[in-house]
Each structure stands twice: as C-alpha cells, then as structure tokens.
Structure 1
C-alpha cells in the first residue's frame, strides 16, 4: 500500500517582497499526513541586514530578536531535506515558493521541484462567501486558532488548519459538484487542481449519499428552496399605543425608551391616518431621529400591525449593507416580541441574481481564463448553500467581470419554461417570496431607478418608508444620470467581428438564413458609421484653446450652435444613423423572438446576446438624441474626454431628478415616511422637503436620548491656520504640524477628516513614516485599500490614526472607545470650481436662489453634523471633536454652521497647552460630572 503524501505547510516572513534584495527573517513549517500534524519546524533567521520599522511593526520581529539566529546559508540544507518528497502548501504559494527557491539558489542548494498547493485559491473556491481571503481574516471567521499573525510559525500552523478545514468542506460536497470542479481545475496554481482530483478519487471510493437538503438538476447540485406562506393570525392584534402596553409586549426582551416609543407612535399614526399629535392627514412626513436610539425597531414594530402581503411596507435604505443589516440584525430582534412576525424579502436589480440556465451553458465550454473558472468553481460550491442566488453573498466581487455579465439574470421574460432550471430559477423564486412577504427591502438606488423602468419592479402599496432619507436627493440625481461612453462603444463594435466575436459566431450559425445575415451586415454598417460620427463630434467638441489635455467640460446649446458646418452635419448624421439602426433592430428582434425556442441552449445564449446589444444601442441612441436636442435648464450636458481625445463620455445630469412628484413611483404609494438622523439643517427644517419637491411636508424632531454637553466637547485652537492665504504646500506643512502636536500625546484611535484628497496625501506623506518609527500606524484613504478594509483595521487597533475624506464624514459606526477623538481639518464646503457644483449653482441662480445660503451652507452644516454624530452612538459614548478651521467662530456663515451642533454644546477656544490639558482631563475621566461647565 502506497504511503499517504506528506504536506509541508510553509510560511516565511521577509524584510520585503523582492527576493533579489530582501531576506528571510523567519520560517515556519507544519508537516501533515493522513489529516494529522506529524511534525513542526520553526526558526528565526538572521537576514544580515536591518529590518525596517514597518516590517517590525507588521511581524513583531525585532532586529535584536534575529541577531543571534542562524543565517539562511546555515539552515538551507536542513530546510531542503525537510521539504524533499513533500507537497508544498502555502497561502499565496507563488510568493513563498519562489522566494525560498531564490534563497536556495543564492546558497547553492538545489532548488525545489516538489508539487505545490495554494490555499488562497482553495479558499476562493470552497469558501465562496468569505468576506476576505487574507489568512488572518479567514482564521478569525472560521474560528481557527491564530496567536501571532505575521509570524511564520503561527501562520504556518493556521494555514495547516485551513487546509484540513477546506479538505473537510470538499468531502462534504455532492459528488457531482466535485466532479464539475475537478473538470475546471486544470488552470489553478501549480498542483492545486491535483489536490482537488485526489480528494475526488477518495469521494468516489466512498460514494457518499446526497444530503437531504440538496437536489440534482441537469448535473448541478442545488440547495432545495421552500416558500413559507404568510399566515395571518386569526385574531387581530391591537397596536400598543401606551407605555404599559409596550412594556407588556416587550416582556423584558426589548428595553423601553421614551424617544423610541414616540417614534413608534408617530410611524403608526402616520401610516394608519390617525390625526393625533397635531399631525394633519398628509401623504409625506419627515421624522428626525438620532442614530443610536433604535430607529429601525422604532419603525418595524408599528409596521407589523399594518403591513400585509397585499399592502406591504416597502423600506428603502441608503445601501446594500444597510439592507442586509436590517434583515440579519434588526428583524430577528423585533420578531421575538411581535404577535405577527414580519416576513421580509430583500429586492435588488435582476443582474444581482444568477441565471441558472446561463450558468449551466457557461460550464459546457469554459473559457481558458483562470479567474473565470475560479468564479465558476466557487459558484458550484455556493449553489449547494444559497437559496437566493444573490451574487452579493459572494463577498468582494466586482460584477463587471465577464463571468457575471454572462451569468447574471436578464429577467423572467427571457426564461425558457421548458428548460430544466426554470422551476428552480432564483428570480422567479424572489417574486414568489415577495408575494408572501409584508416587508420588502430595497435601497435608494433601486427605488430611484423605478422611474427608468418600463415596468415597475415594486408593487403598489399604502406604505413606503425611506430610511436615511438625507441620501435620497443625491442618489436620485445619480440614478437619473444618463451616459454613453464612445470609447466603450468603439471597442464593443470592434469586437463584434473578431474571431470569437458575436457577429462572427452568428454569421457562422445562420449561414442558411441569408436575409438574417444581410440584416446583420446592414446593422454592422450602421454601428461602424455611428463610431465614425461620434469621433468627429468628440474631436470638435474637445477643441479647447491653449490646452493639450482637455478636461471634463459642460457643453451649452450656444456652444453647440456656434460650430461650423462639418460637426453640425456629423450631429445630424449621428441621430439619423441611430434612427436607421433602430429600424433594422426592430426587424432583427422579430426574427430572433420567432426562433429563440428552436435552438440549442448555447445557440440561444448567442441570440440573447444579440437582443442585449440591440437594446443597449437603442438606449444609447435615446440618450444621445436627448443630449443633442433637449436643453431644459435643469439638464446639464457633460463631456468627459478619454485620454485618446477622440472618444469621450457624453453625460446628462438632471437636477430635477430628486423632485419626487415628477418621478414614476411617487404616486404609487399612499403614505410615505422619511426618516433620518439629520434632517433639520441648523435652524432650517425644510431643506430636505424642498430639495425633494414637497416643501409643505411636515417635519417632526424626536430629541436624542443623549446628554451631548456632558458626553462631548467641540474645541477650536485659539490661533488657526490662514487657510486662504497659504499655497497648498505650506498649508499641508502647517496642518501636519498641528495634527502631530494634537495626536502624539493621545494613545487612542483618532479619525482625521479632510475635504481634499490632495491635502490628505500631502499630510500623510509628511507624517506616516514619523509615526511608523514610533510604532504607530497612520491609515489613509487612497493608500491602504478600500473604505471597509481601512475601517476594519482602524476598529481593531488601539491607537491608529485614520485619515479620511468624502465618505468618511458619515456612516462610520465606531462606538465607545473605538472613536473618542475626531479632528476636522477644514469646514466641509464643496469646491465651487468643480464643474457639477458650478452648474448646480447656476441652476439655483436661475431659480432666483442664492447658492451659498441655499446650498453650500446647508450641505456643509449637514456634513459637520454627521461628522460630530460619529462620536456619540449610545448613552455611554464620549468624544472630542477638534475643528482646526477658525472660520467656524470668526465668520457670519461659520456661526450658522455652528447651529449644526446640538444646543448647549459650547464651542471651546483653547491655546495648544489648554487644548492638550482638556483632552487629557476629558478622556481620562469618564465619570466626570462636568462641575466646571
């Protein structure tokens, strides 16, 4: 009997990533055989050079620690012997394997030729819903013991545990799933595919039965889906209006908060047409309720007494993240106490869902592209788990990859009812779930796009609740923005007749249909002519005096009318060609629709791709026709050039898009409630109702349950930086000095907010190495990864400093000691020179409004209030906000902005010495009774 293979799970720590100049400082190895650890090896290595502060902070390996360790030359033969005749395993094998081989070569030891397995790729396939494939994150999420991340012995140990965990996952999968994965695995790194096939052979030998919760459809294992039917309680429950009734309902499972109870009653009365609390019967109601007071529970509870599947409550949130949080966190909590549980369904755009039939076709001829196949393999595993088919369950994916373009849903209209996957289709199941749900959850972008859809995807209802309503105007504007990229169109048309292009394949497939081929050729001629006309127009539109590199620009009707004959002819031809292309497209559509059920599935995909193309060109024709012919004051005509200066993005922004009475969806709901933590801007209650086109809508304010004067401080230095008088370089120098003085003595996480990415980068460059040398990390937007990644690292740190701009001003939930100090570098005004801001200001002027007082000040006040709101999310939180811009107290508009802070919160102006003393006193004294206030 052959011996079971030995797996050598290896991790190395190095002075850097370049094997030519960097050296190993630590190596760890765990040997596994028959699923058991049989040996371990770990040692520090003297690199013969200094370890940088950055690597020391990352690995916790110091220069003194490695000083007495052996050099790699001394241990290279031992390591080579240890690894001989094993299978090499590492997390990102390409780095460890190649670096070790480079070191063996340098030490004149024979290089490794042993097979290798990459646990990163294995994790990507067999743990498809993991939020991150970094070793530390996987260890944390899977509960694997990981004492010392970025130390070789600990990393090797946890990689070994991960390998065994994934092997167990493999062997629990259906045999058909593993067969399909093994067929796709030949492009995986090194011998990773071999490892999968080895486990498949073991499974074939044992032939495990199919789990009860799975079924096989046309060779693919799927999770069984069950549709729970909504059951109405026999006896109607009476809404608990009074405190005693609520406490009786809560039964100790929820706490009674008077502010939350008031919100509940306001929601109930609005949706049930009650006229108590001085509220008239009205369609729209705005309620400001502070974050941290439990506002989600505050609206879900009353909704449960009113919403039915026939009249569901539709809740729109600001983001996909908040959608999922509502379902996973808040809904189970409220359903514990409700006599009639809320049944919820999250709804997203159809491209968020997998089309099973199209996925099955993609498996028939998988492309020779590694990432595509990794997605296919991961999807096969995921299908044994998911009942929604929602791509967002596969974290960290960009849906613009060709795999998701090929396998994303096109809508139920294009489904073939004869296809074996039709009964199991995810979008059809979503619609069934919607019919049995009394709570439908969408995000603002989905809601706003209802105005662009031919057929609405949301039902009519009495109840619509818009949470985080302050985001709605901007999201409506973004969703209504229409654009055409001529660069993308040129590339798309060029690809149609390539060797594997759509038209090449269609012409081969339909050789016996000369009329169809002729129409395709005519359509291609129209598309080619469109590309030519687009380029002529872009070339003329981008002719700007005195610049070699044209910037994004706004085009006016006067500029367009002033062009000479050639570009005006090109414009007329462009619109004519779009009309002609649409006539040919109509004929092609009719032919395709009459054939589509006569062809094999793989051929049907080609025809569906043609229909997609026809629809896309038609939509682009409508947008460009609108761009060249519609000149209402609320429309802004953009041109964003590509680097080649012959292609650009034509873009239309509609400033009237947020005016709700003009939308298609507004009239479909009897009662709409707008909820948010910051709806009153300074003293102005009606800023948001006015922006949304419903200025008469009442606004109710529920006082926050926090003692802001006791829990917070807002401090300004008594001498500030002369912001407008300094060039960018000097301003960044002074700002860096101010920040360094403030944060150095405070050993706590600190968030620093900027209004300019350029300034953020300049200050980061001046400070990050200085702080790193002191063992303290500065995380910076645009430097250290995504917003979510930076926030995660920041929330886990003890004293990191996070530099953020834009999105970091709001939506950062860091309660308690994770955020006690916040520094605002500059008042958050948008730059009036930005083209879109300038265009909006012009639009407001034409309406007789002052852009500064009607737009700039309210927007800056909103951002300032949202930044301040990061500090206090519960009654126990405390925090300091330091504003380095003295315009807050020295200007008239600054004093208006100061109204953004809660009443009775004083603005303290302190010298540097007094500021440090106040910070120390406030942060060290959580039980402070504020006697000296």
Structure 2
C-alpha cells in the first residue's frame, strides 16, 4: 500500500487542540507536531490527561496555518493511519479536504482482526502486549498525542508483518469478505496481502484450503460406569488433613503458605457430605480459602470413584481462578492422573460448519460491522484450541448477537456424528474432555439450562455430585434461566435469519442464499428447483404478511402501558386483568399463532424437499436443511411461549409488560417463576447424590434459613442436608473502620438532594485518601448525579474518575482502576461482587445506599405478595434478608488479604437510625462508628489515613 502516515490528535468538542503526524516514505521517517488555536480555553482536565503544560498552548497556530503545513507535509499518496477513527473521522476529513489521494485506515479495526485474542485494543494496551517501541529516528516531544502517532506507526509495522504471515487461503478469504465494500481500506489491504509473495516464516498452509487450517483432534471416548445404583468409595478424612493441615503437603510445597484452620474444618465437612451422599450448605468467610477447601475433597473423591464432580460458578473471575491457579496447583500436588475440564453452553462454542457456511454464503448481506467481527473470528478460529468465543474479542463487539447466531449452533442445528467437521468440532472436543475428567468446571447457567431442557441440549457429562460456588446467586440464576421473554426484536431477529429485504435487490438470509445456490447446479431436476423456489417465495410472502401481525401484537402491548401511570412495567394475570383491555392483545396473539403455524408448515415443506434424492449431490444440502430446521424449531418455541406469556394463566409465574427503547419496539412481555425452590428440589436436588452449596455470604442474622427457603432446601427430608458456617481469618477490627455520616440527607428524602450532598462529601474524602476508592450505587441515576458533582469538585483530576457505563466495559475499568492507584471507580449492580482489588488501589469503599430489592420490580413484587399471602412479612422475610446478603457482598470488596486496610463508608444513615439497621450492622465483622458532624467525620478519615500510612512505613522498615 502507499506510504503510511500516522495521526495523533487532541480534540475538545469539535475543535482540534493539538495534532501530530509521522510520515514514512523513501527518504525515511519524519514527524509533524502542532498546537492549534481553539478560540476558547482548553479544559485543564484535557491538558493534564495529555501531559500538555498550559504554557505549550502559547505556541498554538491558527487552524488554517496548521492545515496548510500539514498538507505540505503529507506525501501525494498515503495511507492515513488513525487508531479508533470514529471520534476524529469527521474532523480529519474536514482538515484534509482538498488533499491528494489518501486512504484512512483504522489500526484499531485491523488489530481487532489480526490480534483477536487481545482483550483490549486500546493503543496503549496493544503497545504493552506487543512490546511496541516508537521509531528512534523521530524525536519524542513528550506529549501523549505525539507519542500516539509514533506508536501507531510502530503498530502498523506489526500489523503488516502479522498479515504477511497468515496462510494465503485465509488472506484470500479475508479479501473476499471485504470485497463487496468497494471503498473500504481493508479491502485494499487484504488484496495487497493476497497478491504479495508468501513469506518463508508464514503460518503453514494446509491441505484442503481454509477447512484444513482448523485443528483436528481425536479425543478418545471414555466409557465410565453408570453412576446410578453403585456404591461409592469414601475418602479418608486423614488424607484431606494431610494435604491442607499445618505442615501438610500444601504447606511444604507452597512458599508463604498460610495454614487456616477454617479451611481444614470446611474441607472435612465437605468430605463428610460427599461420603454420606448428603447435601451441604456452608458459608465460608472471606479469606477462608474455600475453593481449595472444596476442591481437595472433591478431587480425592472423584479420583477414587472415577466419576466427575461438577464445580459450578456464577462469575468468570472465579472460573479463571479455578482453572488458572487452584486446579494446576492441586494437579501437581495430588497427582494420580487427575483430569480437569471446563464446559460451557452450546452457544459459547464456535461451530466450524456454520462459520464456513456463513463465509460461503455471506454475499452482500453482511453489514461492515459484521464483516469486521467475522474477520476477527476467522483469524482467531484457526489458532484456537478450545473454540470458546469468550477468548475472541471480535465476538463480543457491536455485531453481537447476530454474529453469534451466525457462527454457533444449538441442538436443533447440530448434525452430531453425521457432521463433516466432527473431528474439528470444538463442542464435541470439549464434551469428550469433560466425559473423561474428574473435575468439570461449569457455570450456573449451564446447570439450570440442562435441568430445564433435559437431554435435548446436554453438554455436561452424567454426574451425581456437584459443588455450587457463589451460591447466593443461585435463585437469580435459576430465575433467569427459567424465564420467558416475548419481544418484537426477538421474533424479527429470528425471522431475519430466513429472509431480510436488502438494498439493490440483494436480499439477505438463508432462503435467498438457497435459491442462489440452486441456480448454480444444472444437474438438479428443474421440477425440484421450481418447487423449492415456489416454496421459498411462499415463505417470503408469509413473512411479509407476518409483519403487520407482529406489529399489531406489540402495539397493543404498548397501549396497555399508556394507563400505567408512568411506571415502566405493568403486571397482569388471567385472573386480575380487565378482559376488555386485553381483547385486542389476545386476538393479536391468536392471529400470530396461526400465522406462525402456517409458516412452520411451509418451512417443513422446504426441509422435506431438501431431502429429495435428486438433491443428494448438491453441496451444502444438509447444511441448508439444518439452518432452516434451527429456525423452524425456534419459531415453534416462540409461538408456544407467546401463548403461555400472553395467557398469563400460571399461578406459579409472574407476568408483566415493560417499556423498551430502540429497536425492541416499545414493549415486551415476560413470564418468570415466582419461586424456584420447589423446581430445584424436584429436578436437581432429588436427582443428585450430593451438592455442596457455598459462598462467603449465605447467612442472615447468623442463620442459613433464608437462603435454604429461597432455594427449596427446606423441603428436603430431615437428615438429608448438613449446615456449616466458617468465619473469616481476617482481623477486621484492625484492618478497617466502618463509618456512617449521619449529617447526609436520607436517600430519597423529599427536599434533599442526596446525590449532590454525597458527591460533595466524597470529594473531600477522596482528597484525603488520594483516590483509591470504589463507590457502589444501586441506581444509574444516583451514580450519574454524584459523578457530575464530583467532577465539578475534582477539576483537573476528574480524569481519574472511572464511571460504569461511561468509561468502558466492566473488565476494562476494573483493570484501569487496579493500574491507576489514585483513581476512583463508580459502579452499579455488577460491581457489588466479583471485584477483587487487593493492595493500595483500594483503601476506601463507599456504599451509597442500602441495597434493598427494587419493590417495583415485578418479580420482587410477586415474591413479596406470595410471602404476605402465606402470613409472612415481606419486608422482614424477603426485602431485608436479600438486602443484607447484597450488603455483605459489597462490604466484602474492601478486605481481600491479611495486609489490606481501609475505610468503609456506608453513606445511607438508615443503617444507624432505623430499627432494621441492626440486621446490616450485625452482618459485618467490623463495629460501626457514626458521626453527626461533618468535621468530626473528616477528622476520623484523616486519622485512619495517617494510621495506615504509619503502619505501611513501619512494615517497609522491617
């Protein structure tokens, strides 16, 4: 391609503050750096973030002068390299209007394709991961924007080299993917790479072209004994103690190993439960080392019996810890042929058949975003051993969920043993590994999906023993897995897989691809082709007729919300609703059911025709049949669920309509189980010999009764379930202080601006703690209001405020928070648990409000009503206990290690002043200190910060 020129910019609003460019041509590499007059003062926060002193702006030049200098600097033809072009594309286009030939290429997009396993494609993150170094021939002015342009050129060299190393068959496929986008720079890039000579060190080619590049692995089938009706070999408790005890195997082999009696006690109890085929509920406080406490007996039991133990978690973080740290450690020490595997739901794995099918029949159908994502998946797929899409950042971008539908398969689409790609099937391989494993790591979603679907979507091996970690989330996980959603977007998305009207007569979907495919093969009977084309036209006509039927149903659902008095949702049931209000909805649902039934018959006819003997020689015949059958199965499922949800007749479910925004069409309807306990008891607990339920937060007022009742464990026969509570080894009284500012208004109090008052207080607190703070909110509105106030108070330091929903993904801002030790993180619901930040990055934790369940949430409302109907106070029997468990999770974010120290500020004064506050105070291991005066509160913060500093200095001297 033409000479590359990289750009770095600083923009304030629509104005360019500073500009850098680095040009490489036949003469070498040259830099260009300018500051630009903006006409208004540049915000100090922007200058600070870029490392620009205010004095540098005195050298700023008028924009026209900078433009003339830049145009003179650029080669006549060049590739303009920008990293993340979206924010600067329009500005740069205006700046370069009138320039000679130039192509704007986004190195972030290209990096997403060529380095798809790199989680973060920010320039600085890529520079760290790839070890990028600026060109030494260009002096570094020291400003961030100038360094960016130098790094972008260095990144370009790596990207070009990486592309040149790819197999030619893959590069040609990438070019074909972008070929329909005539003006896209990646079309030219991959065409150039395709035409270039193959490098000697390139990735090896494979027989069979692209298909041959996928790793093929034959995993032998391991036949294990049927778990039903056999006697189990018990584990000797003494062997558990030998591993975990003081002076035991772990202590002898792990440097700085800390013996914890709490860990040994829990491990013994887990062993007893496995041996006796009983269930166990165990709360293990933070720092217990609960994962080793259950893994050691589970491994010993699984190896002794040659049967799997499934370990299920709720979060990816814990799965990563188990797979990356705990299991490798124990594999080396326990030995004896231990095998571990991870298994996820079907839709987590790339389907090689569907990927190749999508590439073959993509045509002009895909959007540019989908092509970018598919290109990244393609490059990643030939290198991946697991096919787990969570490893591929391209699969988590804006093209999702359409991309996932395109490249993953559910049970109805899977060809199983008849698939040509079975030896390359990632799911088949993962399941074979799981079938031979002793420890199988899964997540709650897989466990509950298989519980609900039975054998129809089985991926887990047959098992009778399980450990459910993070068990405080089980009720929510089961509720999500057993809920039904009825949305306009859902049905349109599903039908769009069959047919989507396109521009310039280029329709998208399976049916246009099928008719195009049929036209390529003259050997096929014209009669069969004609019948197929007629059936395809009938389906498209039926789908066109479906649109107004679908629109009517969701318009009528939307109309129900007009009388909802501003509420975002409206509960209903067959018993309570006013029939006259629902007549149009019920009629629309019946019309939809008939229309979907007719569509199902037409799809069945196409599938039957694809089985005609005259089509046996047609390539992709079975692939098309499977794709259409997958849609057919889900059309039938949608129709059945629509009937169930709209009917609202089940007394065991809560039904509601809620407002939606954007493309989902105004309203959607839901059905969710009011209680999951009885279902879990019947379909899970009764089917397993032993299940271990564990978490750091299961008790309320020292009792496990609340969680046992919510999970249906209270209905098990006496003696079937064991209980245990294990405390934390941390010295909370020394390591943290629990502070409550009584002078703040009560959250939600009329006349009080709580978010503003909290923001003003936190500005003073964070100056004293030098940031290093995590603030947890229960709503985005409160978070945003507090963030506005804090930014105004922090001024130039506001760039150190990381806000959930604004500053990037949860993973990105958590990682940034850990790296920038003086930053502040504002988070909502997902940050209340699973965030581990040991050390100096977190010394101040703020809980903005007591985390009561939202009483207007339909599920919460229905559960409270059910309790009241049973004679139990909903507030004392549900709202408070649920809030206490959530509160304990949030409180536990601060102290993650014996050496951690810090302040916990519970800003909601109700914890000290309401009678129910004692539930929260008793639930945490640190005594509360309340302050009526602002000055006394801030003095106490100062004192604790000094104390922490003195202790760290003393530790440093020793």
Interval of TM-score (by shorter of Structure 1 and Structure 2): 0.7 to 0.9
Partner of 1:685: 704
Structure 1 residue 909: deviation in Å? 3.5
How many Å apart are 1:266 and its aligned residue? 2.4
How many angstroms does 1:549 deviate by? Answer: 7.5
Q: Over residues 242-269 of structure 1, what are the superposed CA-to-partner deviations in whole Å (9 max), with x where a residue is unaligned?
A: 4668623553326142222333322223
Shift of 1:192: 4.0
Cα drift, residue 637 of structure 1: 1.4
The one-character-per-residue Cα deviations of 1:663-693 (angstroms, maximum 9, x if unpaired) are: 5343332110011111112332221111110
CA contact (8 A) 2:350 2:426 kept: yes
Q: Which residue of 2 aligns with 1:638?
A: 656
Q: Is the 8 A contact 2:85 2:106 kept in 1?
A: yes
**Aligned equivalents of 2:217 and 2:592: distance in 1?**
49
Map 1:31-430 → 2, pairs under 5 A = 31=24, 38-47=28-37, 49=39, 50-68=41-59, 79-85=70-76, 86-92=78-84, 99-100=91-92, 102-103=94-95, 111-145=99-133, 151-186=144-179, 187=181, 191-204=185-198, 206=199, 211=204, 216=208, 219-225=211-217, 227=219, 239-242=239-242, 247-248=248-249, 250-253=251-254, 255-258=257-260, 259-273=262-276, 283-308=278-303, 310-340=306-336, 342-368=338-364, 369-395=367-393, 397-398=396-397, 400-411=400-411, 414-415=414-415, 420-430=420-430
RMSD over aligned Cα atoms = 3.8
Q: So what's the TM-score if we normalise by structure 2?
A: 0.85
- The one-character-per-residue Cα deviations of 1:852-883 (angstroms, maximum 9, x if unpaired) are 00111111111221111011000000111112
Q: Say which is worse superposed, 893-902 or 411-420, in terms of deviation.
A: 411-420
Residue 609 (structure 1) aligned with residue 599 (structure 2): no
Q: Identify if the C-alpha distance between structure 1 residues 578 and 88 changes in structure 2 by more than 3 Å, giving closer, same or farther.
A: closer
Query: Does the 8 A contact of 1:536 with 1:570 survive in 2?
Result: no
Distance in structure 1 (CA, Å) of the matches to 2:203 and 2:11: 49
Change beyond 3 A, Cα 1:756–1:465: same
Is the 1:530–1:577 contact (alpha carbons within 8 Å) kept by the matching residues of 2?
no
Distance 1:55 1:474, change over 3 A: same
The alignment partner of 2:404 has SS state of: helix
Question: Aligned partners of 1:291, 1:677: CA distance in 2, in Å?
Answer: 6
Residue-by-residue CA offset, 1:553-575 (whole Å, 9 max, x unaligned): 11122344633895497279459
* TM-aligned CA deviation for residue 801 of structure 1: 2.5
Shift of 1:303: 2.0
Q: Secondary structure at the match of 1:316?
A: strand
Structure-1-length-normalised TM-score: 0.87
Q: CA deviation at 1:640?
A: 2.6
How big is the shift at 1:580?
A: 5.1
Contact 2:488 2:664 in 1 (8 A): no
**Corresponding residue for residue 875 of structure 1:** 898
Q: Secondary structure at the match of 1:607?
A: helix
Structure 1, gaps ≥5 residues long? 274-281
Change (3 A) 1:56 1:928: closer
Given that 1:468 and 1:676 are in contact with CA atoms closer than 8 Å, whether structure 2 keeps it comes out as: yes
- Please state whether the residue corresponding to 2:768 is helix, strand or coil: coil
Distance 1:807 1:889 in 2: 26
Counterpart of 2:487 (choices 485, 488, 496) is: 485
In the alignment, the residues of structure 2 paired with residue 515 and residue 101 of structure 1 have an alpha-carbon distance, to the nearest angstrom, of: 52
Number of the residue aligned with 2:608? 591
Q: Which moved more, 1:885-894 or 1:395-404?
A: 395-404
Checking the alignment, whether the CA contact within 8 Å between 2:415 and 2:626 is kept in structure 1 is no
Conserved 8 A contact 2:310-2:440: yes
Q: Distance in 2 between matches of 1:850 and 1:617?
A: 42
Alignment partners' CA distance in 2, 1:722 and 1:549: 24
Counterpart of 1:557 in structure 2 is 574
**Relative to 1, partners in 2 of residues 1:337 and 1:504: Cα closer, same or farther, differing over 3 Å?**
closer
Matched residues in 1 for 2:90 and 2:487: separation?
A: 42
Instruction: After TM superposition, give the deviation of residue 805 of structure 1 in Å.
Output: 2.2
- My pick for the range that moved more, 370-379 or 648-657, is 370-379
1:782 corresponds to which residue? 805
Aligned match of 1:276: none
Give the conservation status (yes or no) of the 8 Å contact 2:349–2:389.
Answer: yes
What residue ranges of structure 2 are gaps of 5+ in the alignment?
A: 135-139, 225-234, 502-506, 519-524, 953-958
623-632 vs 491-500, greater mean Cα deviation: 491-500
Q: Which deviates further from its counterpart, 687-696 or 527-536? A: 527-536
Asked if the contact 1:493/1:528 (under 8 Å) is kept, the reply is no
> CA–CA distance in 1 between the matches of 2:297 and 2:677?
28
Specify the alignment match of 1:277 in structure 2.
none
User: Is 1:512–2:534 an aligned residue pair?
Assistant: no
Q: For the residues of structure 2 that align with 1:188 and 1:881, how far apart are their CA atoms?
A: 57
The alpha carbon displacement at 1:753 in A equals 2.2
Between the two proteins, the alignment pairs up a number of residues equal to 901
